[in-house]
Amino acid sequence: MAILSPSLLAADPLNLGKEMKRAEAAGAQWLHVDVMDGCFVPNLSSFTYSTVAAMRKATSLTLDVHLMIEKPIRYVEDFCRAGADYLTIHVEADSRENIRAALEKIRGLGVRPGIVLKPGTPAEAAEEFLPLVDMVLVMTVEPGFGGQKFMASMMPKVTRLRQLLDKVNPSCHVEVDGGVDKGTCRTCMESGADVLVAGSAFFRSEDPEALRILIEG
């Protein structure tokens, strides 16, 4: 089975603390935090490193922080020191040299680094970074907005990344983010994903625990 990482982007922003407690009460072990700069993706989120620091004080759940920002090396230290447990950055967001440096910096600060791929980016674009990371995140929607339709065409990429990781870094997680719900979670797990991000399907459900049980077993 897999780990469920409920996405706070779909939570009620006026009651974020209560929404985090609701996720915890439903049995979630992780929380997914999307940080968007309005440049790398055409949208802004209200989540910053100060938000992550406040979350860290409010919960013991694993904070799975996804930076959708240009040149993330500028901010990784802030998010690490704020309390992220996993910090994932996009392979498309900077030069190869700076991406490598950012991943190494994250690791050096005691946080688990991860690499993210947009739908149009092939698995091989992350290959050189696979020995350096603890998680690879495959976007199954275009990043920047919640509530999009799941792209089943991304599943071969998930499988390919799992195959590559099994050779060089078998303990690394493969995470899927975008359109995950009761109907698509099985496909993700069968393709090789072991961490699933769910936003609307969790926070806008009358029974979020049912999705957690389905995914985590």
| DSSP-H helix ranges across 96-149 | 96-108
Residue 143 DSSP symbol: T
Query: Helix, strand, or coil here: 76?
Result: helix
In terms of Cα–Cα distance, which of 69, 137, 132, 67 is closest to 105?
132
Write out the two tokens for 7: 């996405």
Q: In angstroms, rounded to a whole number, what is the distance separating the alpha carbons of residues 63 and 112?
A: 11
Task: Name the CA radius of gyration of the chain, rounded.
Answer: 16
177 is catalytic: yes
Question: HEC profile for 145-188?
Answer: CCCCCCCHHHHHHHHHHHHHHHHHCCCCEEEEECCCCCCCHHHH
Residue 43 CB contacts under 8 Å (≥ 6 apart), including other chains: 36, 144, 145
Catalytic residue among 64, 94, 134, 177: 177
∠ CA 195-196-200, nearest 5°, is: 155
Catalytic residue among 12, 34, 166, 207: 34
Q: Which residues are catalytic?
A: 34, 177
